[in-house]
Chains A and B, each alone.
Chain A
């Protein structure tokens, strides 16, 4: 049994009290004295040349302070991309500029053209309508394959084409993989679309910029998952503000799911305008605006092939993917279809030959970047769908086919450049079969059939690379940043502790889970420990929260800093007890001298550190505060097996998720309640992708799903209760907590099982349907049933 409030305890979340009583402090709750409001005039066409932009009349309207256009940002930096991919010929990707406000051209619906700052929101909006704008329409580049044809309209005139990069991974595997296909006994091919999604955290983005002329310093309040990353990108690359003059604060943030990682134009604008006007400037996105300005996710078109030998062993995987970058390169966009996707293409299987080709393409759409899972859901979906299709073609049990090909020995170096440290795919599949009650499925299917419904069972496995990431490795792969994290443990005189962390909690419960770790290490009450995050002026330089990295990377830094604290405290305790440091034992908040009954309490030592009257000042400094940076040695590799059961209404095509089960291996667990919640949420989003959500543009680049009226968000009645289990635990071998990360698993692991279940149901009903693209909507199912 875990200790109360320590590692493994399902401690209730302390942050809930403020959220439940309406006293959270989200960015839109922050108002700075004298603040003005900005409204962005955004492009309503996908692609066009700005031929006229006259703000004079608008400028004269009530309350208007100033109207900014692209001209005001000439000479200001471009919004940078944080990752440079090298193509299969060794050349760097094509990288277009990304202005804060459009410079002569608009490249997607929603591209900001002008910014009106006024005394009130409505005045700003009124004036924006009075801006005289002429745009000469240009053909919209929408279809990725057409975009790469000779003579296609270019999204960026200064680039040679719409191809960002053509990437091969691993290029040296290509010949051997082709050979594996030549000699295969069976090849299964699947062409599929991993549709464009919108992350849709419930809190829309908000940014408030403030400037203090006396000190020439800036404060940006923003809805960010990583305030230090924003400070770095905006300060160093866009506005040229040195770090010590720029504070970025991300207070309570209402969900992110990737979309709040990136540095956005609106953040740079409010910071820039705050100085220009010497007034704080606030921007609050509406949901409609969010649909056309938040980075989107997914949007891959893929052909995957699986080669098998005569005994049904996998011998080769070959994929060709078109990945939509949108109109500009968002912060981590190039990394998503490459290093977060190609590296996972081996999945849970010992396939000797894997080759991945990705062509990243510019189109006149909102930029695409990481959304929960980011690259790994795309990889998992392709692989687990093609395996299911192969099993059906070969008439073998899909679970058995997977089991036969599982990797069983660890560490395992895949053909796609990563080394899985631990895992037990047999164990998670065993657990899944148990909690999903696979044995009981035939009886449930018979019952459904009695009620006129088709029932299907779909299963899949997943592997992901989390704990992002070893800096040297990602640097070699094109990252323009390190991906370590940092923590400062500040022990106060009375023994209470503030832990300043680089990770950012926007739903993950760090304020509760992180103290559990420190409390366990120190043997003190977790109530004595608070987490400080989200403010660059208070926390060490950490890289924030995404890629299921917080505990594995920042938590490890926190462990290291706490170890330093313990080491120093032992020295102080040794002095207080006039003993040798080597004889000091520390347990349950008590320092004792081995083999004696002498002991001092935690509070005695912390007090001595700050009131150093009886203290070895010649040997150690007073105070008790330590910082550690942690750079991971490898990714972590959470894995698992998921099962979904659906009913399909044969008349309408409507799919209902009846049961969902997830067996995950996250390594060690700090707070099982929070882990369960993360998995639930991921599954909800995965079911959303599988059945409901899609971001659709028409041929002219107009967004057809620009609000919740057309973008189907999963609701409570779209999903069932989920059975989740994380009792299979193969701890990570290279971080001190043995943790792997659990934030994205649900979203990565769930879409294939849902679609596999629908195909299973349809085939059980006699329909020869082998694939339906997501979202598997009623109309698509019905269309498929028509043959």
Chain B
């Protein structure tokens, strides 16, 4: 790693201030950032740890019945909550137990790895992503592989998940990293169904509108039978071609619907 200063503010306000330094980088759980620092892929002047800020940790529900999760909440705690079981199940299968004890929901969403699980949950739930400055709808938040609507120094503080009637996440693991080769989050709300696919596309997590339409009128595994995604813009690597990912996305969608019940 390159040398850097380390700061661990106790309040959001102090964190915002700390982030005004040039080349300051936020550290949440660090489960992705630290390995990339080891590879010297980043050269921060300062790391600003968000793990000491209690005000952006924890889980509650708001007046609209949404589950509100502090951005610095670790995966293990998201997995333990009972307000949104499909989200808990997803969180309980991110990485491995030790990673879940450090990695945070905010860190994952800020990084927006194209194979991460949380982006599928946030997009699939139509979550609202709150920062120190504003609220961003999930539909506007994910802008590409490792890209989000966050501005320089903007700190993710909370994610608000509307709780669906039914939901499930199915992940088909890449055998080495155990990230999603393809992961599909399906959620049925009163006003429609959302289907978000991670791991597959060169453009990061996306909504599968054909499947949403089909499931909107008939929420059953049979409704998506025969639907196909185009594999040409899917990730193709040693673990599977774009066509394979497109195929698996359809299979996982079907299975997620079946699991959601």
Contact = CB atoms under 8 A, between A and B. Distances in A.
Contacts of A704: 237-238
| Chain A interface bracket (under 10, 10 to 19, 20 to 34, 35 or more) | 20 to 34
Interface string A641-671: 0000000000110100000000000000000
Most buried by B among A122, A125, A704, A710: A710
B176 interface: yes
Contacts of B240: 777-779
Given A694-B238, A779-B239, A712 B176 contact: yes
Nearest to A123: B3
A696 B204 CA distance: 24
Contacts of A783: 241, 244
B238 A705 contact: yes
A711 interface: yes
A78 B238 CA distance: 36
Contact of A692 (B38, B175, B241): B175
A652 B172 contact: yes
B244 A779 contact: yes
A708 interface: yes
B116 to A, nearest CB: 13
B172 to A, nearest CB: 6
Given A692-B175, A778-B240, A122 B3 contact: yes
B167 interface: no
B187 interface: no
Contact of A710 (B38, B40, B177, B251): B177
B1 A712 contact: no
Given A779-B239, A779-B244, A782-B244, A708 B175 contact: no
Contacts of A779: 239-241, 244
B8 interface: no
Nearest to B178: A715
Interface in B218-261: 237-241, 244, 247-248, 251
A711 B2 CA distance: 26
B217 interface: no
A712 B175 contact: yes
Interface string A248-277: 000000000000000000000000000000
A42 to B, nearest CB: 13
Nearest to A704: B238
B176 A122 contact: no
A130 B30 CA distance: 27
Contacts of A126: 2
A541 B38 CA distance: 41
A258 to B, nearest CB: 21
A202 interface: no
B256 to A, nearest CB: 13
B251 A651 contact: yes
A288 B38 CA distance: 10
Contacts of A286: 38
A779 B242 CA distance: 10
A288 B238 contact: no
A400 interface: no
B176 A782 contact: no
B159 to A, nearest CB: 26
Contacts of B244: 778-779, 782-783
A708 B40 CA distance: 18
A713 interface: yes
B156 to A, nearest CB: 24
B124 to A, nearest CB: 20
Contact of B175 (A652, A777, A782): A777
A128 to B, nearest CB: 10
Nearest to A782: B244
A711 B39 contact: no
A57 interface: no
Contacts of B238: 694, 696, 704-705, 710
A125 B3 CA distance: 11
A710 B1 contact: no
Given A288-B39, A651-B251, A652-B248, A777 B239 contact: yes
Contact of B176 (A125, A288, A710): A710
A713 B251 contact: no
Nearest to B236: A779
A696 B175 CA distance: 15
Contacts of B175: 691-692, 712, 718, 777
A20 interface: no
Contacts of B248: 652, 778
Interface string A751-787: 0000000000000000000000000011100110000
Contacts of B172: 652, 654, 778
B176 A652 contact: no
Interface string A701-730: 000110011111100001000000000000
Given A778-B240, A779-B244, 5 more contacts: A652-B172, A652-B248, A654-B172, A705-B176, A710-B238
Interface of A: 122, 125-126, 129, 286, 288, 651-652, 654, 691-692, 694, 696, 704-705, 708-713, 718, 777-779, 782-783
Interface of B: 1-3, 38-40, 172, 175-177, 237-241, 244, 247-248, 251
8 contacts: A288-B39, A652-B172, A705-B176, A710-B237, A778-B248, A779-B239, A782-B244, A783-B241
What are the 5 closest A-B residue pairs judged by CB atoms, nearest first?
Answer: A779-B240, A712-B176, A712-B175, A779-B244, A709-B177
